[in-house]
Structures are given as C-alpha cells and as structure tokens.
Chains A and B, each alone.
Chain A
Amino acid sequence: MTRRLDPKKVNSELFTLTYGALVSQLMRDYENIEDVNKQLDRMGYNIGIRLIEDFLAKTSTGRCFDFKDTAEKIQMAFRLYLGITPAITNWNASCDEFSLQFDSSPLTEFTELPDNCLGLKYCNILTGVIRGALEMVQMDVTSVFVQDHLVGDSCTELRLKFNKRLEDAIPSGED
C-alpha cells in the first residue's frame, strides 16, 4: 500500500509497455537485428551514465573494492529500479566474471518473440545500463546476454566480466 502512495513509483506494466513500444519502433527503423541490439545497448549506456548518480545519491553506497561487492550492488540496483532480485551465480575462479540470472523480468512480461527476430536481444538495454553506470565509477566491464528465455533458454542470463579499473578517471583524492 505504501508503495502505491509513493508518487515516484510507477506501475511496472506502464514501463513494460513503453519499453515494448521502444523496441518495436527500433525494429521498424532498422532492418538489421544486430543494429537494433547495438542501438539498445547504446541507449542503455546513455541511461547508465546518468542513472548511476541517482543510485549513488539515493543509496549513499561507497566505492567497491572487489567485484563481489559490485555484484551485490548491481543486485541492489535491480531491486531498486526494476523490483526484481536477480541471482548472482557462476563465478569464475579468478572472481572477475559472474552471471545474473533472472527468473522473470518486468521488461519481458507480455513479450513473445516472433520467428523473424530470433537474434534480437530484447533486454539488451540492460547491458548498456550496467556498462555505462560502472564506467562512471571507474570500472570497465563487458556485459552480454548469454541466455534468454524469450528464445527458448531455460532462464535469462546476463554475463558480466571485469576488464580493468579506469585508473586515469579516478577522481583526485581517491587514487
């Protein structure tokens, strides 16, 4: 009930449908599905570099000093912005790669992919958001969807790989 009274919260269905409209518009604008994936990622990146400030301002989290920490904070951000808690799994031995597994996602709630767009990574905006947000806190990561239940996989899996700390960009007073 308190959730509904908060003026800053919106119905997730509105968000789902708006995102759907965006993707279908992109499908109409670009002939190539690869281009749509790329465009979604780019839009996500532009959202991410702004969204990170909102996340930091509202949660007052500190800097991450290992990737496990980062994973938990990303999970927290998903809870905050999408109301879901993806599972953190499949760490590699050197602890610089992990997967986020989504059972359900508000982005795909009413979505079925038609046969002609099997290569489409419907949620690809998320990879961009994460990459952009982490770049702003001086972390270079690669993020990519490796499984997607929309194309018949058992779950949706987003793989994150830590590349390097962006040492040049670290604000003074912290290096």
Chain B
Amino acid sequence: MMNKLIFGRYIPGDSFIHTLDPRAKLLASFYFIGIIFLANNWQTYGILAIFTLFAIFLSKVNIRFFIRGIKPLIWLILFTVALQMLFTQGGTVYFSWGIFTITEFGVINGLFIFCRFVLIIFMSTLLTLTTPPLDLSDAIEYLLRPLKAVHFPVHEVSLMLSIALRFVPTLMDETEKIMNAQRARGVDFGEGNLVQKMKAVVPLLIPLFVSSFNRAEDLATAMEARGYQGGDGRTKYRVLHWHSKDTAVILAFVALTVVLIFLRS
C-alpha cells in the first residue's frame, strides 16, 4: 500500500540537491511555480525545461520516478489541454465543427499548458523525492515564523504536521489490518456498485476513527507525562543550516527570472 503513495516518497541520496537546506528547496519550488507563469513563448519554456532537467540531473534521481509522478495527473492534464485546443480562437483555423475549432493559437496554447503542468510536477516531485518529510515540516515551521506576529499558532501547526507525518505509516498498517480482519469476516471491499462499495467502507472507517481517538488520547497522556506544556520555553533538537550553496540556488532562481523577463514576448 505504501508503494502506491506518491506523498512522502523520499529517495535517500547525497547529491547536491539532497544536501540543500529544506527551506531553500521549499522556497525555490514555490518560486518556480510563480515564475513559470512568466513564460509565454518557446524560448522561455525552453529555458525553464533546461533548468528543470539540469536540477533533475543534479539530484541523481532516475527520471522514471518523475514520469511516474505525472501518471496519476495525466487525465487532468489532457483534459485541460483539450479544452485549450478546442476553445481558443485566433490564427490559422485547421478544423472547425460547430463551436469546436482547432486553431493555430489553440494548439500552441495547449502545448504550453502541457509544458507548464509537466514542469510544475517535475519540480514538486523533485522537492519530495529529495527531502525527507520531516525536514519539510521543519522548513514549513521556519518559514511560517513571521506569522507569529499575527498570532498564528506556528508551533502548534508544525507539531500537528510532524505528528501527522509520523503516524501516516502507523495508520496505513492499521488500515490494512482492519481491512484484512473485516475481509476475514466476509466484507467485500471494492465489489459491487457504488452504493455497495461505499457501504463496505463503513466497517473500515469507524474502527479506524475510533482507534485514532484512542491513539490521540494515549499520545496526549504520554506527551504530558514527559513534560509537554506547549511551545513556550522549548528548545529544539533539530536545527537547519543555511549554507552558501543554498544562497547560490536562490540566486540562480533570481537569474532565471531576469532571463525569463528578458526573453518573454
């Protein structure tokens, strides 16, 4: 079951990208999604594609993992591309039938959208493949820190995030156990029509829910027994280190932005 999950798939390694500070990686990924909207012609998309492929090359992760990351989203991508192609007006008309027209602009726009999707997925997959979930939650906590000024509960959110991440495999195991236990008692999962399928999920969902409550209670007691009194006055065991190469990565992204602005039409 774990293997199907894209979320939290981390491939250990010691490449340039792996050893970057998670804050740098997280910021860069979000920044990339922002600047991808600057691209509007072949040169700019070309630059972005080269940049992404170079990052993937630096991570030393097999490109097949990235292609696999696209698979679950392929229908969404194709659907969006098709809509773009069928409904964009302008340029040479290749084909027309009722309200559907395939035009030169439509085809180009569709291809652009396709590139945009693929590049965003590649970049975010690169982030999750090279960063352990725990480091990501540390990075999120650090980056949310300014929000403390507006009384946003940064410590609580990051604690919840890291506990949630830590319990993902535990709950997956438990789900599998309950499923097998219910199968042994004659429940058919994934059989029959939609209503029957939904009904079959109930004997899985309720025990899982109840056991989560029990787990939460046990965990809270254990945390309190170990002196947890909230975020104030706590020190931190994990610390993040920002190196010069992290600055270099951010600078590379800024340079990329300048190039994009220069090349866009």
Are A and B a genuine interacting pair, yes or no?
Answer: no
Taking Cβ atoms with an 8 Å cutoff, the residues of B that contact A are: none
